[in-house]
Amino acid sequence: MGIDSHASIFAPLPPRADGRKNLVGLTRAELADELATLGEPAFRAKQLWRWIYTAGAVEFSQMTDLGKSLRARLEDAYVIERLTETRAQHSFDGTAKWLLKMADGQEIETVHIPEEDRGTLCVSSQVGCTLTCRFCHTGTQRLVRNLEAAEIVGQVMHARDQLGDWGRNEGDRRLTNIVMMGMGEPLYNYENVARALRIVMDGDGLAISKRRITLSTSGVVPMMRRCGEELGVNLAVSLHAVTDELRDEIVPINRKYPIRELLDACRNYPGVNNARRITFEYVMLKGVNDTPADARELIRLLDGIPSKVNLIPFNAWPGAPYECSTPEAIRRFGDILSAAGFSTPVRTPRGQDIMAACGQLKSDSVRQRRNRAQASDAAA
Least separation, in Å, of the C-beta of 228 and ligand SF4? 19
Asked if 3 and 131 count as a contact pair (C-beta separation under 8 A), the reply is yes
Distances in Å between the Cα of 288 and the Cα atoms of 88, 260, 272, 380 are 35, 20, 30, 51
Q: Which is nearer to ligand SAH, 56 or 186 (CB)?
A: 186
Residue 46 contacts by C-beta under 8 Å, 6 or more apart in sequence?
A: 204
Q: Which is nearer to ligand SAH, 100 or 181 (CB)?
A: 181
Least separation, in Å, of the C-beta of 58 and ligand SAH? 29
Asked if 80 and 23 count as a contact pair (C-beta separation under 8 A), the reply is yes
Residues that bind ligand SF4 (CB under 6 A): 129, 131-133, 136, 138-139, 184-185, 218, 238
Q: Is 109 a residue of the active site?
A: yes
Least separation, in Å, of the C-beta of 23 and ligand SF4? 30
The partner in contact with residue 98, picked from ligand SF4, ligand SAH, none with C-beta cut-offs of 5 to 8 angstroms by kind, is: none
Handedness of CA 297, 302, 304, 308 (dihedral sign): negative
Q: Which is nearer to ligand SF4, 40 or 281 (CB)?
A: 281
Residues that bind ligand SAH (CB under 6 A): 133, 135-136, 181, 185, 216-218, 238, 281, 283, 312, 314-315, 358-359
Asked if 361 and 183 count as a contact pair (C-beta separation under 8 A), the reply is yes
- Distance (Å, whole) CA 285 – CA 219: 19
Active-site residue identified among 40, 81, 107, 109: 109
Q: Left if phi > 0, otherwise alpha if psi is -120 to 50, otherwise beta: which for 319?
A: left
Least separation, in Å, of the C-beta of 242 and ligand SF4? 17
Q: Which is nearer to ligand SAH, 319 or 341 (CB)?
A: 319
CB-based closest residue to ligand SAH:
359
SS3 content of the chain, % helix, strand, coil (to 5): 40, 15, 45
The partner in contact with residue 365, picked from ligand SAH, ligand SF4, none with C-beta cut-offs of 5 to 8 angstroms by kind, is: none
Q: Is 358 a residue of the active site?
A: yes
Which residues are part of the catalytic machinery?
109, 358
